[in-house]
Structure 1
Amino acid sequence: MNAAEDRAENIRLLRDSAAAVVAPGDMKRIRVLRFREPGFDRATWQAMCDMGWAGLRVPEAAGGSGLGMQEYCALAEELGAGLVPEPLIPCAMSARLLAGDALAGLLSGERVIIPAWQECANTLDAQGDTTVAGGRASGRKMFVPMAAGADAFLVSGRDGLALVDRAAPGLRLTIERTQDGGNFGTLSLADAHCTPVAGDMAAAIEEAALATAAYLLGVMDRAFAITLDYLRTRQQFGRPIGSFQSLQHRAADLKIQVALTRASVDSAAATLDSAAAPALRQAAVSRAKARAADASMLVTRQAIQLHGGIGYTDEYDVGLFLRKAMVLANLYGSAALHRRRYAAAAPDQDDE
């Protein structure tokens, strides 16, 4: 089996393994968990860790799987299709930076360690004004995803990174609920006890942004599939509404959006796996994230409209996909931010 065949087999196995936690068409588990702390199920998270998902991007020598971004994005897409709330993307980001006992505890599922790197909205800057020197951390971190379920936080600052236990003296955590039923946390750090961690979050943020784009691809693809089923079964004037030409045109436009997003995510994952130059990697990630953010909002909104009145009810599942897109579209950078970064990072086409 050559390298391409081996990668294809890994991707197939990962997609198949996702069936253990993803149940398309059955949102009962998602509905039970939303708007309740911590917003996800620790038993399900443990099962995900047992399958090695948290260490997907961690080298084998450090206890991970050592797989590439193409495998990671394939898994993230499957999780998006099932609206899985467990914090795989944030924890995988932490796993890329931790070592020793901290990494072992995360990979085993014993501890949930969430990165806390943002100090303002819509940024990719992980440094900010927070200080993490001398075994103490001081500053403020915002928009920490699923913080209510965290055992510890990987905090970034202008001096480096530090691991801060949730119960550490000097740390105050405020939780706010999000549209999808999850939560964001705000960390207020006042000389909080911390442990220094070597590393730089920049590359890990790039991977998390692309994985989020892949998750959004799964969200929009599943919302579109639900809508197609509805168009085929809902009857009006004695025939399925999917036979109406105007609705067929709208569905075709949405299918194109899903296909373009898939191509962009796949291309970006291949670029990151090829060890391309930093500017090319940033351009590829920004192109994929900008498209996924915009397309997911368009597809999920149109999905609700194509369902008519029932699509606007909370009891109908298609609305859950719009709620998820609303939360993730701006996480790890909005479409506008990534378009600006793409314009700055992309190679000049006239020079090719």
Structure 2
Amino acid sequence: MSATAAGVAPFTGDRAESIEMIRDSARGLLGSDMARVRKLRFTEPGFDPALLRQMAEAGWIGLAVSEDAGGTGLGQAEMVALAEELGRASAPEPLIGCALSAHLLAAAGEGELLGQLLAGDAVVLTAWQDRANTLSLAASADGARGFVLGAAGATHILWPVQEGGRVALHVLARDQVEITTEATQDGGHLGTIRPLPWSGHGPGRHVADDIGAALTEGLDRAALATAAALLGGMEAAFAMTLDYLRTRQQFGKIIGTFQSLQHKAADAKMQIALTRAAVEQAAAALDEGAPSHLVSRAKARASEAAMLVQQACVQLHGGIGYTDDYDVGLHMRRAMVLVPAFGGAALHRRRFMELSPELEDA
């Protein structure tokens, strides 16, 4: 069995050390206190702008943006490690959405707004879809677009538009759009964005003629980062569950000694290991410029495994796991929001079948 298939990171030496340093940095900044997450639920913007600025100052938003464009110039393996820690902390900050916008702005050569985003002076999110569970760009240039996590905190919106067979990029300031929000299961929100009436060629300010390839690549990166966040949430919930199984007593015995519970925990551990292998292999493939079908495999597996593992963790806690006061439920609610983000399991299974070179040659 290969190192990747076994769930071991496929990196050694300096690269492995760099990834571990990012993990340590993320854990130090995010902490492990879920009280912060609870305090932010059902508020707007639903995240801590000051912490998002700290993330930007730490180089997280521009982690995979080239140094020439003002970013950190690291790879997808580092971004995956960071996203995993975000998921482990159930952090509501829209870092993945901001990283997608940074990627598009860098491709467009829009240095001024990119600099503001990377410095934490702007919160730039991308509105690209007009229906759920799709990776396709909205058909209309001026119709409503939705499913933007953390939209209430945005200072700017990126608005890709089909123009003459290409994908142009426009930037809209906050006062050029109407944003309505809908609460999500984790206490955050999804935003629906409508551009206000404009004159000229398309909404807002035109900044690039063709970012189609960058949008496709950026959505791949965002889908993989979301899979990694789901992985981090699974591992955090599972660690809490193991602690509970080792300490909770029933009928005079530690419940972790009950064989039926051991079987359920073993199934959850297997799902986590398979997800880690898929996510890390996809990150390594993206860094090597390989086809993106591995991203779809990772997102499909993470989306399915997350719900299986989170439900198992809640059940293994018994009645307390179903209460809102217990932290394991926060991870399950976060997973319910992230599973459909950037495409759910069914979409990515279909996409894997379409893109897989092995299947094409069969």
Q: Is 2:156 aligned against 1:152?
A: yes
- What SS does the corresponding residue of 2:30 show, helix, strand or coil? coil
The alpha carbon displacement at 1:348 in A equals 3.0
- What SS does the corresponding residue of 2:267 show, helix, strand or coil? helix
Paired residue for 1:228? 242
Paired residue for 2:289? 275
Q: Is 2:252 aligned against 1:242?
A: no
The alpha carbon displacement at 1:351 in A equals 4.4
* Percent identity over paired residues: 54
Within the candidate set 165, 169, 190, 1:184 is matched to 190
Paired residue for 1:161? 169
The alpha carbon displacement at 1:22 in A equals 2.3
The alpha carbon displacement at 1:158 in A equals 1.1
Instruction: Please tell me the residue identity of whatever aligns with 1:91.
Output: C
Q: Is 2:144 aligned against 1:140?
A: yes
C-alpha distance in 1, partners of 2:49/2:117? 12
TM-score (structure 2 length as normaliser): 0.90
The alpha carbon displacement at 1:195 in A equals 1.3
Instruction: Please tell me the residue identity of whatever aligns with 1:144.
Output: V
Paired residue for 2:7? none
The alpha carbon displacement at 1:344 in A equals 1.3
C-alpha distance in 2, partners of 1:233/1:266? 33
C-alpha distance in 2, partners of 1:100/1:269? 27
TM-score (structure 1 length as normaliser): 0.93
C-alpha distance in 1, partners of 2:360/2:21? 42
Structural RMSD (CA): 1.4
Q: Is the 8 A contact 1:164 1:194 kept in 2?
A: yes
C-alpha distance in 1, partners of 2:150/2:63? 20
C-alpha distance in 2, partners of 1:140/1:302? 38
191-200 or 66-75, which moves further after superposition? Answer: 191-200
Deviations 1:19-55 (A, max 9, x none): 233223x210000001100011111111111100010
Paired residue for 1:62? 69
- What SS does the corresponding residue of 1:78 show, helix, strand or coil? helix
- Count of residues in correspondence between the two structures: 336
Instruction: Please tell me the residue identity of whatever aligns with 2:153.
Output: G
The alpha carbon displacement at 1:291 in A equals 0.3
Within the candidate set 9, 18, 27, 1:10 is matched to 18
C-alpha distance in 1, partners of 2:58/2:158? 23
Instruction: Please tell me the residue identity of whatever aligns with 1:100.
Output: G
C-alpha distance in 2, partners of 1:113/1:130? 21
Paired residue for 1:135? none
Q: Is 2:305 aligned against 1:290?
A: no
- What SS does the corresponding residue of 2:175 show, helix, strand or coil? coil
Deviations 1:242-263 (A, max 9, x none): 0011111110010000000000
Deviations 1:182-202 (A, max 9, x none): 111101124345111322311
The alpha carbon displacement at 1:350 in A equals 8.9
Q: Is the 8 A contact 2:37 2:92 kept in 1?
A: yes
Q: Is the 8 A contact 1:22 1:79 kept in 2?
A: yes
C-alpha distance in 2, partners of 1:220/1:203? 26
C-alpha distance in 2, partners of 1:68/1:61? 14
Instruction: Please tell me the residue identity of whatever aligns with 1:157.
Output: V
Q: 1:350 to 1:103 in 2, by over 3 A?
A: closer
Paired residue for 2:129? 118
Q: Is the 8 A contact 1:79 1:215 kept in 2?
A: yes
